Amino acid sequence: MKYARDKAATVRRLHRTSLPIPTAHGLAPPKEPGHIIAGILTFESDWKPPLGDALVKALQNGEEISRLDLGCVAAHGTFTCDAQGIHSIIPRGKPASAFLFELIARLQELATVPMIDVRAYAKWLAEE
């Protein structure tokens, strides 16, 4: 969990760009890059119980930038986190399918992705 949270924070700290979006009706204004969804998917957990207090503590410890939005322990269940930082633990059958559907739903909520300024990322090619 610590590794996943650290990775989420690292990715969320990256500089992101956005350009105007060409459409059939002309240029739409740049879309501000939104929240980066972070999560974890694992087959099993060594914690006893796997979705118990140890998981809750691991999810709540740390900075908001490292928050995990969703996760799945395929043998036991899933968890989600809402915009207010409230975690829900969901023990149930078919956790991997539930995780996939929750991820898709969250991606749909983000709608159109920002247009990346590819040239800004390519600048490092010219640097020595």
CB count in 10 Å sphere of residue 95: 21
d(CA 128, CA 53): 50
pTM for this prediction: 0.81
The full set of domain ranges for the chain reads: 2-125
Distance between alpha carbon 67 and the CA centroid of its chain, in Å? 9
Residue range 20-69, pLDDT digits in tens: 989 999 999 998 888 999 999 999 999 999 999 999 999 998 899 999 99
d(CA 32, CA 67): 20
d(CA 20, CA 28): 6
pLDDT > 70? residue 5: yes
CB count in 10 Å sphere of residue 7: 14
pLDDT at 13 (0 to 100): 96
